Chain A
Amino acid sequence: MIRTPLRPLARILDARAKGENPDAIERENIRLRGEATRDRERLRAEGRLLMMGLFFLAAFVTVGARMGTLAAAQPEEPQLSEAAPAIIAQRADITDREGRVLATNLVTHALYAQPPMMVDPERTAEKLVKIFPDLDHDRLVKDFTGTRKFVWIKKKISPEQMQDVHDIGDPGLLFGPREMRLYPNGSLAAHILGGARFGNEGVNSAEIVGTAGVEKAFDGWLRDPANGGAPLKLSIDLTIQSALEEILAGGMKLMNAKGATAILMEVQTGEIVAMASLPDFDPNDRPAPLTKGDASDSPLFNRAVQGVYELGSTFKIFAVAQAMELGLVNPSTMVATASPMRVGKFKIHDFHNYGPQLSVTDVIVESSNVGTARIVQMIGPERQREFLTRMGFVEPTQVELGEAPTGRPIVPAKWSDISAMTIGYGHGLSASPLHLAAAYATIANGGRRVTPTLVHDIGHQPGERVVSEDVARRTMGMMRAVVSRGTASFADVKGYQVAGKTGTADKAKPTGGYYKDKVIATFAGAFPATDPKYVLVLSLDEASTYAAGETRRTAGWTAVPVAGEVIRRVGPLLGLRPEEGPTELAGIQLVKAKLGH
């Protein structure tokens, strides 16, 4: 910067020459310089003021905006939607077909401890053992005084126990909310419901996982919150299930049986109205599965679905139905029945000799093994195998139970002529009672395949045709004859026109061969015969009864009377009206009951 000198020599000399005071020039220059400095200073000050002003403005705007947002905003985290439906995170209920609760949830608490927060671990352990006698005192003391930071004590506790724990008053004892699965009806329909246990556990919640039965088969569905808490409606009817279980338990005791199972199924839809397997268990307190020995000895074993048995003479119906379908026989065709029948080195025996020949109807009514074997001979193994496959006897049933895939029928590896004959009268092929019920329902349904299901009202499609309507009707006629004048006469419940077939199969030894004095007695049937609505399969394991002077094991004396009682009891409950008119109440006068006196 070029500084202007205060006394520029040229002007001084000039002024001196003119006789002026050169100091005036200096003063003038000082004044100019002062003014320039002043202007500069003012500009700087004005700039500072502007900055200050802007700063304050920004500060006030910030404070104001913040106040505005605080006034307008809500003191909480933003949410996606305010109108979220009430949390239904719990597992869906299971109900019967009328909406009666079979399984529900109950809120309870789990007890855990955080030992670092404990005041007096030893006293706490002592008091806890007083409340829960099953806890181990030394173990608790060790857990509480050791290095552990977190200890589960009890998975489920009752409100009373919770209060007792509160009364201990130790800050290290804490509760976590829990939902537990409750089966209010106890052991009723235990095998169908199965059971549930806790899966992954956290402090604030625990997932419930189905372990068996429908709880396992529908685990994903029951847990899906998208269902909005809608219950799973089973095809079971609580009342009928209860009546069936009561009679079955009584029958099992009366017939000295080791186990029993019964299935009651709707013919048209395949919906299982009641299904029981005894002995049973309480799903609220599911026993541990057997680790050794025969699985079928455990009460957890579902005989109706998992148990595959040779079902004996109940299979004869299929041979006869197929022979009629193929046009080989009709109900009055005569079949040779001289016993024993020789096939190669095998002999086929009847219970007793029925004479040289019987009509096809009488083969079924008298339950002749030889007659059936002759009919199967006409059919041949290939066609028999194909027919039984279409009836569903080769694959496990598709019923919605966790155990269903384990009920795989045992079919002979080589379907020879002789195995075809034995299968014809129910030996050599093992299937579950549910398979049998589905196959009988197929015949009762006019020959259209029926698939068993446990879910109510899911729009059943009519199945493929297995036998013609006419053959199905004539087969039903034969089964009606079995009950009205044959081996199943104890099941002839007046008015319900029961049709059915008995089956007494020698029990197969696990080591091969058959037991001499152990049988599976089965009754399979449908009612009413003219328009079948329900199919009943009832099977007793190792049943025997002392009647008419001797010990009897045949189904006609064991399974059939129990089945008859079942039909007598559940018929009215199913809303079925007996065909024949009510009996005249001779000598009894109807009176108006006087109640409330």
Chain B
Amino acid sequence: MRTLIYLATALAVMGLAFWAYRVNYETQDRLGDLRTINREIASLHEGLGVLGAEWAYLNRPDRLRELVNMNFTRVPLLPLAPEQFGTAAQVAYPAPEVADDLPLGEPIDVIATGIDANTPANAPAVEEGQ
């Protein structure tokens, strides 16, 4: 019996030692990972700083003004003026939808003929003629 207790104790000590050893190394690995990540964060921070500086540099008002002047024919942008404030009453109700690519000069059949009853009511009538 006594031998058995000794043996069990010895085995327990060895087991615990092995566990402690393993946990120790695992911790060290994790700490290593953490350091790597911290280094990565620091370098990303630095990169972010550079990108932020570049963003600010590319968006500086002088440059934007130049770009607006250069592209005025394509995108005519002008400074905001007080007259541009409107009231809600000025906003028109949305016009009833009309097909955008309506061929001008071609009369629309208001009462469409030749459409069978299964066609949905909102199907554009002009599609027929194209």
Name A239's contact: one of B57, B61, B62, B83 (CB within 8 Å): B61
Determine if B49 and A568 form an interchain contact, defined as CB atoms under 8 angstroms apart. Answer: no
What's the nearest-Cβ distance from chain B to residue A366, in Å? 28
Majority-rule SS of A interface residues: loop
Determine if B83 and A582 form an interchain contact, defined as CB atoms under 8 angstroms apart. Answer: yes
Closest residue of chain B to A238 (Cβ to Cβ) is: B61
> In the complex, which residues of chain A have a beta carbon less than 8 angstroms from the beta carbon of B41?
86
Determine if B79 and A569 form an interchain contact, defined as CB atoms under 8 angstroms apart. Answer: yes
Contact with B along A3-24 (1 / 0, CB 8 A): 0000000000000000000000
> In the complex, which residues of chain A have a beta carbon less than 8 angstroms from the beta carbon of B87?
581-582
Most buried by A among B57, B61, B85: B61
| Those of A331-367 within 8 Å (CB) of chain B | none
Determine if A582 and B60 form an interchain contact, defined as CB atoms under 8 angstroms apart. Answer: no
Name A582's contact: one of B45, B62, B79, B86 (CB within 8 Å): B86
> In the complex, which residues of chain B have a beta carbon less than 8 angstroms from the beta carbon of A239?
61
The answer to the question of A204 belonging to the interface, with a C-beta cut-off of 8 Å to chain B, is no
Knowing A82-B31, A87-B42, A582-B85 touch, does A184 contact B61 (C-beta < 8 A)? no
Most buried by A among B21, B55, B60, B65: B60
Name A496's contact: one of B65, B80, B82 (CB within 8 Å): B82
The answer to the question of A101 belonging to the interface, with a C-beta cut-off of 8 Å to chain B, is yes
The answer to the question of B123 belonging to the interface, with a C-beta cut-off of 8 Å to chain A, is no
Determine if B52 and A104 form an interchain contact, defined as CB atoms under 8 angstroms apart. Answer: yes
> In the complex, which residues of chain B have a beta carbon less than 8 angstroms from the beta carbon of A568?
81-82
| Those of B5-32 within 8 Å (CB) of chain A | 21, 24, 28, 31
What's the nearest-Cβ distance from chain B to residue A86, in Å? 5
**Assembly CA distance A73 to B65 (angstroms):** 62
Majority-rule SS of B interface residues: helix
Determine if A185 and B52 form an interchain contact, defined as CB atoms under 8 angstroms apart. Answer: no
**Assembly CA distance A71 to B24 (angstroms):** 9
Closest residue of chain A to B38 (Cβ to Cβ) is: A86
> In the complex, which residues of chain A have a beta carbon less than 8 angstroms from the beta carbon of B82?
493-496, 568, 571-572, 578
Determine if B50 and A106 form an interchain contact, defined as CB atoms under 8 angstroms apart. Answer: yes
The answer to the question of A161 belonging to the interface, with a C-beta cut-off of 8 Å to chain B, is no
The answer to the question of A461 belonging to the interface, with a C-beta cut-off of 8 Å to chain B, is no
**Assembly CA distance A188 to B59 (angstroms):** 13
Name B61's contact: one of A188, A493, A581 (CB within 8 Å): A188
Knowing A184-B60, A243-B79 touch, does A72 contact B24 (C-beta < 8 A)? yes
Closest residue of chain A to B60 (Cβ to Cβ) is: A185
Knowing A72-B24, A104-B52, A184-B56 touch, does A83 contact B62 (C-beta < 8 A)? no
Name B60's contact: one of A82, A188, A573, A578 (CB within 8 Å): A188
Closest residue of chain A to B34 (Cβ to Cβ) is: A82
> In the complex, which residues of chain A have a beta carbon less than 8 angstroms from the beta carbon of B28?
74
Contact with B along A87-99 (1 / 0, CB 8 A): 1101001000000
Most buried by B among A104, A105, A577: A104
Closest residue of chain A to B54 (Cβ to Cβ) is: A184
> In the complex, which residues of chain B have a beta carbon less than 8 angstroms from the beta carbon of A298?
none
The answer to the question of B90 belonging to the interface, with a C-beta cut-off of 8 Å to chain A, is yes
**Assembly CA distance A493 to B81 (angstroms):** 11
**Assembly CA distance A74 to B49 (angstroms):** 34
Determine if A185 and B56 form an interchain contact, defined as CB atoms under 8 angstroms apart. Answer: yes
Determine if A106 and B85 form an interchain contact, defined as CB atoms under 8 angstroms apart. Answer: no
Closest residue of chain A to B75 (Cβ to Cβ) is: A595
Determine if B56 and A578 form an interchain contact, defined as CB atoms under 8 angstroms apart. Answer: no
Determine if A185 and B21 form an interchain contact, defined as CB atoms under 8 angstroms apart. Answer: no
**Assembly CA distance A87 to B28 (angstroms):** 21
Q: A100-B59, A572-B80 are in contact. List 20 more A-B contacts (CB 8 A).
A: A71-B21, A74-B31, A82-B34, A86-B45, A87-B42, A101-B53, A104-B49, A105-B53, A107-B49, A182-B53, A184-B57, A186-B60, A242-B62, A496-B82, A572-B85, A578-B82, A578-B85, A582-B83, A582-B86, A583-B83
Offer 22 A-B interface pairs, CB within 8 angstroms, sorted by A: A71-B21, A86-B42, A100-B59, A101-B53, A105-B49, A106-B49, A107-B46, A182-B53, A182-B57, A184-B57, A185-B56, A185-B60, A185-B62, A186-B62, A239-B61, A568-B81, A572-B82, A573-B80, A578-B82, A581-B87, A582-B83, A590-B92
Q: What 9 A-B pairs come out closest when comparing CB atoms?
A: A242-B61, A184-B56, A101-B56, A184-B57, A572-B80, A578-B82, A185-B60, A86-B42, A86-B41
Which A residues have a C-beta under 8 Å from some C-beta of B? 71-72, 74, 82-84, 86-88, 90, 93, 100-101, 104-107, 182, 184-186, 188, 238-239, 242-243, 246, 493-496, 568-569, 571-573, 577-578, 581-583, 590
